[in-house]
C-alpha cells in the first residue's frame, strides 16, 4: 500500500485525511504544512501527498527523477524514530559540531546496507582502504511506535564530530540525511542517485559538494582529491553551509510549500 495522505483547505480550515503512513512521515509533513499555512494563509485547495521514498512523476512526493511536483520531506519537522525530534535543533547541533576539529582523518558513513546495492558496493570498496574510510554497517529494528533500535548507533552529530569527510548515498529511494549533512562544515562526497529532492535544483556539484558517479568508478579519484586538496574541499563545505542557511531551514521549507500550493490554482 502506498504511503499517502490528503490535505485540503475549505472555508478557511486546513484539514488532513491520513490514508496510510510509515512511521511519522505523514504527521511530520502535515505539521510543516500547518505552520506554512499560518504564515501564508492559503486559499481553498485539495492535494494528495505521497510520503514514500519514491513516487511517480505525476504524484506530489519527496523525491523523483524530475523536479516536477516535489515537496519538502518529513525531515524538516523531525524523525523521532531515529532520535531526531526537532530538525532545527539537530542541524544547529550538526553545524556546531563542524566547528570543532575532527577526530579521525577519514571519510565516514553509517547505515543499513540492505536498502541499496550501491551501499553494499560502497561497503565492499571501503575494505580496500581501511586507513581512509569507515563505512559502518548497521540495521534497524522496531522498538516502540516512535523508536527504532540500532545494532550500531552513531548520531549524525557524532558522525560529524568524528570524521574529516562525509559521504552520502541513496537508500530505498532518496537519501533524507543529505539535508542534515550539508550543515556539517565537513566536505561531502555525494554519490549520484536517480531520486533527488527539490533543493537539488540549486545544489551545485564542485560548489556545494564533491560529486561521485553512481557506479562508484570515480570514487577513488574523488577520495584522493579530498585528501590532497583539503583547503578547496573545506571551501566547498563552507559553501554548503551557506546554501543550507538559505535553502534548508524550516522557513525555506514553508516557502517551498507555499510555492507548491500556489501552483495548484494555476
User: How far, in whole angstroms, is CA 141 from its chain's centroid?
Assistant: 21
Distance, in Å, from the CA atom of 198 to the CA atom of 64, rounded to the nearest integer, reads 9
Proportion of the chain above pLDDT 90, given as a percent: 82
Query: Could you tell me the CA-to-CA distances from 122 to 126, 129, 213, 216 in Å, in that order?
Result: 6, 11, 12, 8
Contact between 252 and 260 (Cβ < 8 Å): no
Tell me how far apart the alpha carbons of residues 96 and 160 are, in angstroms, rounded to a whole number: 9
Name the residue ranges covered by the structural domains of the chain: 4-80+250-265, 81-248
Residue 242's alpha-carbon distances to 156, 245, 246, 249, 257, in angstroms, are 19, 5, 7, 11, 21
Please report where in the chains the cell 569527510 appears, as a residue.
165
Percent of the chain with pLDDT over 70: 94
Is the CATH code 3.40.50.2000 the one for domain 81-248? yes
* Range of weakest confidence among 88-97, 99-108, 141-150, 176-185: 141-150
Q: Which residues contact 66 (CB under 8 A, 6 or more apart)?
A: 57
Average pLDDT score over residue span 91-100: 98
> In which residue are the cell numbers 491520513 written?
18
pLDDT at 150 over 80: no
Predicted local confidence at residue 1, as pLDDT: 60
Has residue 217 got a pLDDT over 60? Answer: yes
Note whether 102 and 112 are within 8 A (CB): no
Under the banding of pLDDT at 50, 70 and 90, the label for residue 61 is very high
Give the residues across from 212 on adjacent strands: 191
Instruction: Give tens-digit pLDDT for 103-125.
Output: 999 999 999 998 899 999 999 99
Over residues 179-207, mean pLDDT: 98
Asked whether the predicted pLDDT for residue 156 surpasses 70, the reply is yes
Radius of gyration of the chain (CA): 19
Asked if the model's pLDDT at residue 151 lies above 70, the reply is no
pLDDT of residue 142: 54
Q: Characterize 164-194 residue by residue with b for buried, 16 or more Cβ atoms within 10 angstroms of its Cβ, and e for exposed.
A: bbbbbbbbebbbbbbbbbbbbbbbbbbbebe
- The whole-number average pLDDT for the span 219-232 is 98
Rounded to the nearest integer, the mean pLDDT of the chain is: 93
Q: How far is CA 115 from the centre of its chain?
A: 15
Query: Hey, which bits of 33-139 come out as E strands?
Result: 45-50, 104-111, 133-137
- Range with top average pLDDT, 17-21, 153-157, 231-235: 231-235
Average confidence (pLDDT) over 67-82: 94
Q: Given the DSSP bridges, would you call strands 4-10 and 13-20 parallel, antiparallel or unpaired?
A: antiparallel
The rounded distance, in Å, linking the Cα atoms of 231 and 238 is: 11
Judged by phi (left if over 0) then psi (alpha if -120 to 50, else beta), residue 255 lies in alpha
For the entire predicted model, the pTM comes to 0.93
Is the pLDDT confidence value at 210 over 70? yes
- CA atoms lying within 13 Å on the CB side of residue 177: 25
Which distant-in-sequence residues (6+ apart) come within 8 Å of 248 by Cβ?
Answer: 91, 179, 182, 183, 199
Overall average pLDDT of the 185-208 stretch: 97
Q: What's residue 172's pLDDT?
A: 82
Q: How far is CA 225 from CA 123, 134, 228, 253, in A?
A: 20, 17, 5, 33
The confidence score (pLDDT) of residue 82 equals: 85
Amino acid at each position: 500500500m502506498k504511503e499517502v495522505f490528503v490535505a485540503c483547505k475549505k472555508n478557511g480550515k486546513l484539514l488532513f485525511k491520513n490514508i496510510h503512513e510509515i512511521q511519522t512521515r505523514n504527521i511530520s509533513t502535515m505539521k510543516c504544512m500547518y505552520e506554512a499555512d499560518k504564515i501564508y494563509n492559503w486559499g481553498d485547495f485539495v492535494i494528495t501527498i505521497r510520503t514514500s521514498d519514491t513516487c511517480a512523476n505525476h504524484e506530489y512526493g519527496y523525491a523523483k527523477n524530475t523536479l516536477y511536483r516535489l515537496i519538502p520531506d518529513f525531515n524538516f519537522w523531525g524523525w523521532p524514530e531515529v532520535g531526531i525530534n526537532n530538525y532545527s535543533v539537530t542541524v544547529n547541533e550538526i553545524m556546531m559540531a563542524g566547528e570543532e576539529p575532527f577526530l579521525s582523518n577519514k571519510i565516514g558513513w553509517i547505515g543499513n546496507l540492505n536498502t541499496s546495492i550501491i551501499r553494499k558496493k560502497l561497503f565492499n570498496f571501503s575494505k580496500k582502504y581501511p586507513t581512509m574510510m569507515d563505512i559502518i554497517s548497521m540495521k534497524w529494528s522496531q522498538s516502540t511506535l516512535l523508536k527504532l533500535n540500532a545494532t550500531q548507533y552513531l548520531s549524525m552529530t557524532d558522525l560529524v564530530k568524528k570524521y574529516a569527510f562525509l559521504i552520502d548515498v541513496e537508500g530505498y529511494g532518496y537519501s533524507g540525511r543529505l539535508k542534515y549533512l550539508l550543515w556539517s562544515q565537513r566536505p561531502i562526497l555525494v554519490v549520484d542517485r536517480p531520486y533527488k529532492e527539490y533543493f537539488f535544483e540549486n545544489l551545485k556539484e564542485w560548489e556545494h559538494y564533491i560529486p561521485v558517479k553512481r557506479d562508484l568508478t570515480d570514487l577513488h579519484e574523488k577520495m584522493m582529491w579530498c585528501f590532497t586538496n583539503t583547503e578547496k574541499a573545506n571551501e566547498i563545505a563552507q559553501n554548503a553551509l551557506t546554501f543550507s542557511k538559505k535553502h534548508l531551514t524550516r522557513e525555506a521549507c514553508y516557502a517551498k510549500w507555499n510555492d507548491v500550493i500556489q501552483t495548484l490554482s494555476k
